[in-house]
Structures are given as C-alpha cells and as structure tokens.
Chain A
Amino acid sequence: MQSIDLRGVTCPTNFVMAKLELEDIEAGTTVEFLLDDGEPVKNVPRSLKDEGHKLLGLQERDGYYVLTLEKGEE
C-alpha cells in the first residue's frame, strides 16, 4: 500500500499535498497518510472525507497517526 508521509507539514499544506498525491492514484485504491497529532489529525481526515474519499481507519503509532482511505470517484 502506498504510504504518504505528511508529518511535519502544517495545515492546510498537508491537505493540499494529500489532494495532489491522490490525483495520481486510481479510484478504489487504498492509501495511507501519516499525520501529526493535533490540528492535522483533526482537519485532514475531515477534509478528505468532504472530498468524497472513504475513510477506512485511523491508528495511533508512536506519537503520530496513520489514516487509511480508499480513493473515491472523481
């Protein structure tokens, strides 16, 4: 599974980077994003959900989070 590391990237740059990365990925593919605690983990999943992607899971891992999602249709 493709993993995109957005740790250390502040809002909203992390969300825009996630969007740009998702543009090159086919719908239906599962991807994971690494997100910092705090604002990023609160904002990025919510914004990606708004964009029509399917959130599959969120797991804490040593001080950061792994968000798994399935890319939605355009």
Chain B
Amino acid sequence: MAEQKVDLKNLKAGGFIKERGKDLFTVRLRVPGGRMSVDRLSRIAAVAQKYGKGYVHLSVRQSIELININFADFDAVVAELGEEQQKVASCGARVRVPTACGGCEYNPNGLVDTQKSALDVDQKLFGTATGHHKFKVCFAGCPFDCPKSAINDVGFQGAVWPKLDADGCISCGLCAKSCTEGALSMGAGNKPVFDAAKCIYCGDCIKVCPTGAWSAEKKGYTVRIGGKWGRRPLVGTLYATFVPEERVVEFIATVLSWYQEKAEGAGRVRLGDIIIREGWQSLLERLRVDFPEYVVKETIAPQVVQTQLPLPGVQA
C-alpha cells in the first residue's frame, strides 16, 4: 500500500511545505515563543546535517525550517527529531505557533511572562482548524512591542496600571522625568500628577521609583485584534486592557469561535477583514459576555494600510 511509505499522520497539522524541486519539502519546526534549549538545537542541527541542505532557515515567526527535505525521509526526520521533544509546526488555515519576546524573567522591560503565555497557547490551541485562514497570535512583554501585536490576528502586549502611595513619595520627580508619554508631571504639592488618558501602561514610573511609592494596581495584557501583514495589510485595534495572563487562552478561544462562525462561507478570509465586514461592535459584544471588566467601551475597525499606488478610487 502506498500509504505505508509515509506516515500521513505526520502531515496532519501542516508544517511540511512544498518546495520548488521535485520531492523536496521544507519542514517547519515548532518553536513557541522562539525559545529553544541548546540540547534540542544540537539535535535539530544533526537532523538538518543528515537530511537537509546543510543550513536551516530562521523564519520571521521564530520557527526553524529544515530545507530540502525529501518527502521519503519525512518519517525518519520526525523520528530523529524526537516526536515528543520537537514537534513540527503548522501552515494553512490553522492557529499558528505563537511568537513572543524574551519575556520578563531576564528582560528589564518585561511586565508579564510572555514565554509562559506562548507555551500555554501553543499547548492548548496550536493547530486548531479555523476553517477559513491562518490565525496568528503573539505576545509582547511591554509597549515596546517587539513582536508587533497590531499585525497579528490577536496580539497581546504586557501592561501595568500604576498607583501612587503619596505618603511613600519623596518628591524626587524621577517618575515625571522618566514618563516619555507625558502622563506624569510634578504638581503644586511637589507630588506627581497622573494624566490617565496619556498613560500607555509601560510601568516606567514603577521601575524608576526609588521608594516603591509607585506600584502596580493591575497587570495583564492589552489586546489588539484584526491585524495582519501580507498583500493587504491591516493594523489591529484595541479590544481589551489588563486581561489577566491566566485568561489568555479563553480570550483567544472566544475570538476564534466568533471568527469561525462569522466567516462561514466567506472562504479564505482573515479575521480583520471579517471584522470590517461584520462591524467591530459584533466582536466586542461577544467578548463583553465573558470579559466585561476587560473589554473597552468601543473601538475602531482594523486600519487599512495602503502600500501601493494608485490608491483605490484615485485616478493613476
């Protein structure tokens, strides 16, 4: 039987991508959050040496890709990578491997544990069929936003809401000086005055405060939804603030179920385009049911980025 030659189970989640050459495929490996132990890295290197082209490619979404793998070697590659330790990634209309920045264990800017969130999402949602198109999730630890949350279908960004213990404040003014957003200034009583509308939840005031007078009142993720890059880029917009780390999977699952339902029959369409079609209110209301304390009152549609001339409706 032909089926016995290659174990088709290995292909189910995707990650085996056709190359130009006959019989050749790229095998994309699953590296949630872009973190990998050195031991595993050397195992991958050995497999790439034996079956591949002699190099690997680091994808822009933090996966390692083995190049020039003959399809007849699929099973050997999977077995030698160690099925349990090194899974193959996905492609197609599925939830992709979540990306993340280095996280907060060692990065001084980090506010939340993005690595933990990426692993959690990878374990619980990776490979889920969307029925429509790819679905990308990323985790940024702070508003520097290296993983670019606004160009993911659902993008998370670490956030803290600061509170001041005025009695503990020694009026040094460091917080006001450090607040690049202009949300803090020194008031008449030589105490910091907080302009909440300007705060982007970066926590610089907390980090710089010498006495601990500034602390975190709440902490979690800012969430932007509906972004993508590619042929027709969209910038995702704000749907929620301070979503707790432990509710991230549930939050994504809700967005995913809305997408699966609303895009029914629409074919290969990304989440952002469905939001534009259905209106942002629809998704916001769905999220409000289970996350009333975190979703914003209102938002805007994903923002179209025109990257090409002539602009639609404008004569060339």
Establish whether residues A39 and B16, one from each chain, have CB atoms under 8 Å apart when the complex forms.
no
The 3 closest A-B pairs by CB, nearest first: A20-B2, A13-B11, A47-B18
Establish whether residues A16 and B8, one from each chain, have CB atoms under 8 Å apart when the complex forms.
yes
Which residues on the B side are within 8 Å of A10 (C-beta)?
A: 12, 14, 92
A11 to B133, CA, bound (A): 13
Which residues on the A side are within 8 Å of B2 (C-beta)?
A: 17, 20-21, 23-24
Asked whether A62 is an interface residue with its Cβ less than 8 Å from the other chain, the reply is no
Which residues on the B side are within 8 Å of A43 (C-beta)?
A: 18
Asked whether B167 is an interface residue with its Cβ less than 8 Å from the other chain, the reply is no
Which residues on the B side are within 8 Å of A16 (C-beta)?
A: 6, 8, 11, 16, 71
Asked whether B277 is an interface residue with its Cβ less than 8 Å from the other chain, the reply is no
Establish whether residues B16 and A17, one from each chain, have CB atoms under 8 Å apart when the complex forms.
no
Establish whether residues A52 and B22, one from each chain, have CB atoms under 8 Å apart when the complex forms.
yes
Asked whether B249 is an interface residue with its Cβ less than 8 Å from the other chain, the reply is no
A residues neighboring B (CB under 8 Å) = 10-13, 15-17, 19-21, 23-24, 38-39, 43, 47, 50-52
- In the complex formed, the residue of A with least CB distance to B19 is A50
- In the complex formed, the residue of B with least CB distance to A39 is B92
With known contacts A39-B93, A51-B22, A12–B3 Cβ distance under 8 A: no
Establish whether residues A19 and B92, one from each chain, have CB atoms under 8 Å apart when the complex forms.
no
B residues neighboring A (CB under 8 Å) = 2-3, 5-6, 8, 11-12, 14, 16-18, 20, 22-23, 25, 71, 91-93, 267-268
A47 to B23, CA, bound (A): 10
- In the complex formed, the residue of A with least CB distance to B4 is A20
How far, in Å, is B47 (CB) from chain A's closest CB?
A: 19
Q: Chain A: interface secondary structure?
A: helix
Establish whether residues A38 and B6, one from each chain, have CB atoms under 8 Å apart when the complex forms.
no
Which residues on the B side are within 8 Å of A38 (C-beta)?
A: 267-268
How far, in Å, is B33 (CB) from chain A's closest CB?
A: 25
A47 to B3, CA, bound (A): 19
Which residues on the B side are within 8 Å of A12 (C-beta)?
A: 11, 14, 16-18, 25, 91
Known: A12-B17, A13-B8, A23-B2. 4 other contacts (CB 8 A): A16-B6, A16-B71, A38-B267, A51-B23
Establish whether residues B6 and A15, one from each chain, have CB atoms under 8 Å apart when the complex forms.
no
How far, in Å, is B8 (CB) from chain A's closest CB?
A: 5
- Contact pick for B268, options A13, A17, A39, CB 8 Å: A39
A50 to B71, CA, bound (A): 14
Which residues on the B side are within 8 Å of A11 (C-beta)?
A: 14, 91-92
Which residues on the B side are within 8 Å of A20 (C-beta)?
A: 2-3, 5-6
How far, in Å, is B134 (CB) from chain A's closest CB?
A: 11
A50 to B17, CA, bound (A): 14
A13 to B91, CA, bound (A): 12
How far, in Å, is B13 (CB) from chain A's closest CB?
A: 10
Which residues on the A side are within 8 Å of B12 (C-beta)?
A: 10, 13
A50 to B21, CA, bound (A): 7
Which residues on the B side are within 8 Å of A19 (C-beta)?
A: 23, 71
Which residues on the B side are within 8 Å of A47 (C-beta)?
A: 18
How far, in Å, is A19 (CB) from chain B's closest CB?
A: 7
